[in-house]
Structure 1
Amino acid sequence: MFHTGHKVPISLLVLLVLPLALIAQNKAEVKIVQADSWKNNQNIIKNANRLLGDVIIDHADIRMWCDSAYMYSDTNIVDAFGHVHILKADTLNMYARYIRYNGDTKWALATGNVKLVNKTVTLTTDTLNYDMNQGIGYYDDYGTVQDSTNTLHSRIGEYYTRLDRVYFKTEVDVTTDSYQMISDTLVYQPKTGITSIVGPTTIFNEKDTLIATAGFYNTQSGDAELHQFPVIKTEGRNITASSIYYNKQSGDGLAIGQASIHDVANQVIIKGNRIAYNDIKKESLVNDSALALFYTAKDTLFMHADTLKTVADTIPNENIVQAYFNVKFFRNDLQGKCDSLVYYTKDSTLCLFNDPVLWSGDNQMTSDYMEMVRKDSINQEFEMKQNAFIIAREDTVRYNQIKGRNMKGYITRNDLYRIDVDGNGQSVYYAKDDKGLIGLNKAQASTIQIRLQESKVTRISFFTTPDGQLVPLADISELDKLLPGFNWREDIRPKSFNDIFIKEK
């Protein structure tokens, strides 16, 4: 029997599918609201009624529209074809070319240009399983979720409409106007814009890159809470720590646990257990296990202080490192200590304040203020201003000494080879011949030049007539041996990397 050209009365359709209702008498019935025509041919499909044209079907809080459908007298199942549209609870819409709907389990299998719309969120895929009871949609052959700000793709996905949560797995790709995100596993909350990172994830744009395996990222505000040693790469700086917390609007960040900020361009690394930084101002502050590394291709200077701070220089892309209290540093060829220090990345200048001391080989250098400048990859200069004093150990009981108002030193290939004394120069050094020590030279001159080789004094030159004498070994008194202000401080010298963390008592 075949009818066409007019709407089939609902009462007649209900009688035709009465066995279906009797089987499911304890369950909600799938009801036919209307159709242009219907067919029932048991030779083609057993226990099936075919509905054609402008079909509308209701079930509980669900209404379905389609071009045609099969309803089965022995089950509560509908196969809907062509422009299928399901509306649930007046809020959720599903569209597809084909949907199989089970009224007993309230489960829908949709294929062909599937689109699920839940308020401001749209999911598109080729095949979707949707549990109407739980409000959960599943796909495993690529899908896309889009809201007002983000577009998220993945191979596998689960959308929990009631919880406002989407789980993405495998080949996850998120695209917005300002960044792109590539991940293995993500959880996204459309209402808040918060993404939970639960697998290897990279977030990047033209300037910045964020790499993480665990944490949270707010796609609306750009704020982040990252764990398991994430890495943030931003404008020549790499930031890593056990955990990083970041506020994009203010630029404030907090790196906690084995934290590190690496200024790649200027070859400076700041480390500590807790580093507060500002990405906009290019500032950082660390006062827990603070450590700075100034490195080149050949060596590294390690520096510790109670507090380390970096600020932006007035020169673009250059920074200033400030160290406060109990400053100590170590390099294989050079060690030092002072109360405070400033380092300029512009020209690799180190400024030492308040009781600075430098050691190089057997030489100890002190003054009221010191300044070291790297001229190029192999040459350095340092200046000692006010009360400059150099002590060079001759042996276990003898010391060569030079003091003056100011001094300037020259280093090449990590070897101190020359020192110039300017003003009020005084010297005490042991004279030698082929047989060994012959006496003690004591001299005074306004200008003195010292030449060294392998950190040992090889020659002392006076550019003005010196006032001095050679005291024979047998006649040397204790007063002759030491210049005023002599203070050998080998006991506080950092002899290894670990020594820079030892505080003076």
Structure 2
Amino acid sequence: MNFQRILFLGLGLILSFSALAQRNGVKYGSSGYSETVNRGKDRFTRLVDDVWFDIKEKDTRITGDSSLYYDKQGIMIVYGDVVIKEGDSTTITAGELHYLMKDNKTELRKNVRYTDGRIVLTTNYLDYFTDTEDARFYNGGKIVDGETTLTAEDAYVVNAEDLIKFYKDVDLKSPEYNLKTDTLFYDRTTKIATTYGPTQTILEDGEVVDAKEGGQFYTASKRVKYQEGKITTESYEIFGDDLFFDEIKNESQAKGNVKVISEENNIIILGEEASTKKESGITKIWGNPVLKQMVENDTLYLTADTLISIDSEFDSLSRLLAYNNVKIFKSDLQGVADSMAYKMQDSMIFFYESPILWSDQNQITGDTIDITILNGKMDRLNVKTKAFTISKDTVGNFNQIKGRDMVAHLKNDQMDKIYVYGNGEALYFALDEKDNSLIGLNKILCSDMKLYFVDGEMNNITFYKDPEGKFIPPHEIEEPETRLKDFQWLIERQPTKKQVLGKYFYEQAPVKEALPAPDKQINPDPVSLEKD
């Protein structure tokens, strides 16, 4: 969209109609006949067939089929195939022209067409005021500038303010986007176009920007700024206090109270800033971003320094990335990590760089962890390299499992079984089933192992490939024996819902209804007080 070219409309009109304003130096004639008619005080000259008027000072010629020229009153009326030519560049055609010299007003009617070799203006009603050099079209008009077309019901060229103002059903079509609004002002000095009220822009790539309070279009930098609205892409709706579009970078941005919504994935992301690029399919959200996703009857909350959504024509390549200080919260799962990748089609979440997960009284650590979600619930955890699981039992003892890799299966959101592959070590406390008194401590070394759980607590272990173990009775247990190497109980890092949501936490808190004052107690239903 190049509003700068609309400037030529105002300039062309000024040159053309200023020429018509000259009272002296006007020559006229016709190829048919001319006659002077006296009707009381009215005296005019009638010209018929190939009428022409020459205004030599401006190199302007007006032609038409017939004319009435009121020399004393300063009125020129030209009918039928009116043509105004200025030099070799500017041409205006119309079905009728009225030039009111005393009112400094020129009226062009019926199929008006203005062209200067750069733009084409068409309307049925065009007025020009020679004293102020202002112009107006109304009841519908269209401007074509190369590949850009602008239509509106009314438009004004306000010379004193150096503005062109468009009103009512303004519609601008360009190769880059289609803009619809009700009011648009173009400042010819700053080359900034401003819309007021609801404005919709449909971009070439299919994105739609809806602004409640309008926007500003900077033609020099090819940037657009919208006030309070949303950007609609194939995957998201992006809301913000301010919206921006950079034509050079082909990038849309939102700032202030940003909300990104994906109905397909049932995801809402809140943040301070967001940007999206259609070509790369990348949407980035930062400034304390928080993701919320409904998972069955629960909500998964996730935060990080930066969230990035990558959309691809291949669903398997679409994913959500989180970078730096990742925290997640779900009623049955909490975690921290340096970074994360979420493959939504596969329902898999990958945690990188020494992640920690907590589920009930279980803590899981490793170099990387991935979670598979099935039917809205966690189904499996894969822990790769330096896998370490710690479970706190009912009396506060820490049962520990470690190995090279680990696969944990869950059932009804509780640990069901765990497989350990390579360098397996187990340490678990045996308790009396009756009173939970300590029976002893078991320590096992093996290659692989399989653990079974009941109600989330370890119930049985199977060891594979030359297991070595020992049982330590209670009176021989010393503190170093209760911890495997690299043991770290990191419960202080377990994030709470408030920590993950940050400033958005209070938006989630239910509003408690205040109790009525004693003198305003609500009477119970009288039916409920009746005796049986």
TM bracket (short chain):
0.7 to 0.9
User: Which letter maps to 1:52?
Assistant: V
Alpha carbons 1:143, 1:156 under 8 Å: kept: yes
Correspondence list, 1:323-472, <5 A = 323-375=322-374, 377-395=376-394, 397-412=396-411, 414-423=413-422, 424-429=424-429, 431-437=431-437, 439-444=439-444, 446-453=448-455, 456-457=456-457, 459-464=459-464, 467=469, 469=471, 471=473
Alpha carbons 2:339, 2:353 under 8 Å: kept: yes
Deviations 1:334-364 (A, max 9, x none): 1111233333445243332332210112222
Correspondence list, 1:113-192, <5 A = 113-159=111-157, 166-176=164-174, 179-187=177-185
Match of 1:487 in 2: 488
Alpha carbons 2:326, 2:339 under 8 Å: kept: yes
Shift of 1:144: 1.3
What SS does structure 2 have at the residue aligned with 1:228? strand
Alpha carbons 1:83, 1:97 under 8 Å: kept: yes
What SS does structure 2 have at the residue aligned with 1:55? strand
Match of 2:106 in 1: 108
Structure 1 residues 206, 120: closer, same or farther in 2, change over 3 A?
closer
Match of 1:17 in 2: none
What SS does structure 2 have at the residue aligned with 1:208? coil
Deviations 1:154-185 (A, max 9, x none): 22222469999643222222334565332222
Deviations 1:266-287 (A, max 9, x none): 6666664344554323345566
Shift of 1:329: 2.1
Structure 1 residues 462, 500: closer, same or farther in 2, change over 3 A?
farther
Match of 1:9 in 2: none
Alpha carbons 1:418, 1:452 under 8 Å: kept: no
| Aligned equivalents of 2:26, 2:37: Cα separation in 1 | 17
Structure 1 residues 286, 375: closer, same or farther in 2, change over 3 A?
same
Match of 1:53 in 2: 49
Structure 1 residues 206, 276: closer, same or farther in 2, change over 3 A?
closer
What SS does structure 2 have at the residue aligned with 1:355? coil
Shift of 1:141: 1.2
TM-score, normalising length: structure 2: 0.73
Match of 1:34 in 2: 29
Q: Which ranges of structure 2 fall in alignment gaps of 5 or more residues?
A: 1-20, 504-532
Match of 1:225 in 2: 224
Match of 2:68 in 1: 70
What SS does structure 1 have at the residue aligned with 2:207? strand
TM-score, normalising length: structure 1: 0.77
What SS does structure 1 have at the residue aligned with 2:103? coil
Which sits farther off after the overlay, 139-148 or 314-323?
A: 314-323
Alpha carbons 2:281, 2:312 under 8 Å: kept: no
Shift of 1:447: 0.9
Alpha carbons 1:115, 1:124 under 8 Å: kept: yes
Alpha carbons 2:181, 2:199 under 8 Å: kept: yes
| Aligned equivalents of 2:291, 2:250: Cα separation in 1 | 22
Structure 1 residues 432, 248: closer, same or farther in 2, change over 3 A?
farther
Number of residue-to-residue matches in the alignment: 472
User: Which letter maps to 2:450?
Assistant: I
| RMSD of aligned residue pairs (Cα, Å) | 4.1
Alpha carbons 1:208, 1:232 under 8 Å: kept: no
Shift of 1:382: 1.1
Structure 1 residues 130, 490: closer, same or farther in 2, change over 3 A?
same
Alpha carbons 1:121, 1:190 under 8 Å: kept: no
Deviations 1:1-25 (A, max 9, x none): xxxxxxxxxxxxxxxxxxxxxxxxx
Correspondence list, 1:210-289, <5 A = 210-213=208-211, 214-217=214-217, 223-252=222-251, 254-259=253-258, 272-275=271-274, 278-283=277-282, 288-289=287-288
Alpha carbons 1:149, 1:220 under 8 Å: kept: no
Shift of 1:291: 4.3
| Aligned equivalents of 1:313, 1:190: Cα separation in 2 | 42
User: Which letter maps to 1:289?
Assistant: N
Whether 1:96 aligns to 2:94 is yes
Deviations 1:95-126 (A, max 9, x none): 22222211123311222212233442222122
Shift of 1:365: 1.4
Shift of 1:327: 2.5
Alpha carbons 1:207, 1:235 under 8 Å: kept: no
% same residue:
23
Alpha carbons 2:301, 2:500 under 8 Å: kept: no
Match of 1:199 in 2: 197
What SS does structure 2 have at the residue aligned with 1:498? helix
Alpha carbons 1:226, 1:243 under 8 Å: kept: yes
| Aligned equivalents of 2:441, 2:471: Cα separation in 1 | 6
| Aligned equivalents of 1:142, 1:111: Cα separation in 2 | 12
| Aligned equivalents of 1:413, 1:313: Cα separation in 2 | 33
Alpha carbons 2:207, 2:234 under 8 Å: kept: no
Greater share of residues in helix: 2
Structure 1 residues 493, 160: closer, same or farther in 2, change over 3 A?
same
| Aligned equivalents of 1:195, 1:336: Cα separation in 2 | 49
| Aligned equivalents of 2:134, 2:88: Cα separation in 1 | 17
| Aligned equivalents of 2:501, 2:61: Cα separation in 1 | 75
Structure 1 residues 121, 258: closer, same or farther in 2, change over 3 A?
same
Deviations 1:61-83 (A, max 9, x none): 46432222333365222232222
Alpha carbons 2:295, 2:377 under 8 Å: kept: no
Alpha carbons 1:167, 1:186 under 8 Å: kept: yes
Shift of 1:310: 5.3
| Aligned equivalents of 1:491, 1:151: Cα separation in 2 | 63
Alpha carbons 1:255, 1:274 under 8 Å: kept: yes
Shift of 1:426: 0.6
Deviations 1:217-252 (A, max 9, x none): 57999x432232443334434444444444445445
User: Which letter maps to 1:34?
Assistant: G
Alpha carbons 1:41, 1:48 under 8 Å: kept: yes
